Structure 1
Amino acid sequence: MNMSERIEEFVTLWVVIDPLGTLPVFLAVTATLDAASRRKAAVLSTLVSFGVLVFFAMAGHWLLRAMDVSIHSFQIAGAIVLFLFALTMIHGKSHTDAQAPAETSPMEIAIYPLAIPSIASPGAMLAAVVLTDNARHNFPDRMLTIIVFSIVLLITLAIMLAAGPLGRLIGRGGASIISRVMGMILAALAVDLGLSAAADWLHLPPI
């Protein structure tokens, strides 16, 4: 097990899933629910997000092969998408601005907007595919990557379950600052991903 790779995966998934950025969304969309329903929505949204990300981690490469898309092209395109996603975080237009839906069913709220697009965001789906690329023929390494984003999702669940106290502690201003810092980190990771893919494609020394 390469610990540095696992740490890099954790940082990437932490940024794209943005557990703290999910907090304001959770507070907004569950404002009309009682405590038990809020806990149910938190657990269901985490399970749905896990299923979506596992699908992309396990089947994403098969979809690429079916469409005859090279992994280098996907990595470079993914780096561009992640960079643009990072810019929305830096400029304060991340998923923290999601609007609360009119319905109050914990199941409906758990699926949208909590699981999709807040937790299992397009950036997270893309990261699940890209991070498992090098391990597409190595099942144990792929499982380790899935364990890493499971840990991030469990932290996200813990934050949602503790939404009330945390929301009062950091406030909207604190959540906004954290989201922008995470956006800068994601932008740097996106640039590194694009340069590394281009270097590998051109047979240049590693970045």
Structure 2
Amino acid sequence: MDALDYSLLTASLVTFFVVIDPIGVAPIFAGLTENSTPRHRRIMAVKSVLIATVVLFGFAYGGDWLLGALHVSLDAFRAAGGVLLFMLALDMIFEKRTERREERAERWEEEHEPATRPAEDISVFPMAIPMLAGPGAIASIMLFMSEAGSSLPNQGLVLAGMIANLAVCLVLFLLVGPLMRLIGDTLAAMITRILGVILAALAAQFIFDGIKGALL
């Protein structure tokens, strides 16, 4: 039986928490469902998380095939994924990521009349893709699954880290109203910046590992 590498669980928990950013996504969900009924809000919360889970599972187990079809090595993808995550980290530190998310949400709201907005299905776009299962989350699941290799227990640890963060998103979406009043904009911005620094360090490690693997 393969030995469990619990560092994969820790790293995936932290990385997915940073790239999915439940605290940053929750206010966007609140804004998009502001005029919705409680029932519609609950449906959108559950559907968003379920669709994002399916998308990430697809890349978790179809990522190797995709890389093989493109003739891209895992080390090259590891380094490229690290660069992508580092860019996301810089955006988080300088608040650019939040601005883009808010602009995307505002554009969606402008394209839909307030009277019809509650009936609109926001679960696929923009919530599931790209808010939850965005480029950072997709790159992360593929990177961690390559780290886990063929070990099913270690793959399970990676998936557990991903699922735990999506579960946090679901809870926040369901409690979004009172929670946003409790956290406040200032605290949310501070948390986002701290997580951005952590993500930058993790991204740098991915880049170093990819370069090392390619050279050796």
Common fold: TM-score over 0.5 = yes
Contact 1:39 1:161 in 2 (8 A): yes
Whole-Å separation in 2 of the counterparts to 1:169 and 1:37: 23
Alignment of 1:47-58 (within 5 A): 47-58=50-61
Asked whether 1:168 is paired with 2:181, we answer yes
**Structure 1: 5+ residue runs without aligned partners?**
none
Q: 1:94 to 1:186 in 2, by over 3 A?
A: same
Asked whether 1:180 is paired with 2:180, we answer no
- Equivalent in 145, 151, 166 of residue 158 of structure 2: 145
Letter in 2 for 1:64: L
- Between 1 and 2, higher relative CO (CA 8 Å, sep ≥ 6) is seen in 2
Letter in 2 for 1:54: F
Whole-Å separation in 1 of the counterparts to 2:181 and 2:74: 44
CA shift, 1:34, in A, is 1.2
Q: TM-score, normalised by structure 1?
A: 0.92
Q: Deviations over 1:81-110 (max 9, x none)?
A: 111111111111214424242342566211
Deviating runs (4+, > 6 A) in structure 1? none
Whole-Å separation in 1 of the counterparts to 2:53 and 2:119: 17
Letter in 2 for 1:49: A
Asked whether 1:85 is paired with 2:98, we answer no
Alignment of 1:1-207 (within 5 A): 1-95=4-98, 96-97=101-102, 98-100=104-106, 101-102=108-109, 103=112, 104=117, 108-203=121-216
State the superposition RMSD in angstroms: 1.6
Whole-Å separation in 2 of the counterparts to 1:106 and 1:8: 38
Whole-Å separation in 2 of the counterparts to 1:106 and 1:138: 44
Whole-Å separation in 2 of the counterparts to 1:105 and 1:147: 33
CA shift, 1:197, in A, is 1.7
Whole-Å separation in 2 of the counterparts to 1:13 and 1:92: 18
Contact 1:17 1:120 in 2 (8 A): yes
What secondary structure is seen at the aligned counterpart in 2 of 1:134? helix
Q: How many residues align?
A: 203
When you count helix as a share of all residues, which structure comes out higher? 2
When structure 1 is superposed on structure 2, of 114-123 and 99-108 the one drifting more is 99-108
Q: TM-score, normalised by structure 2?
A: 0.88
Contact 1:61 1:136 in 2 (8 A): no
When structure 1 is superposed on structure 2, of 19-28 and 105-114 the one drifting more is 105-114
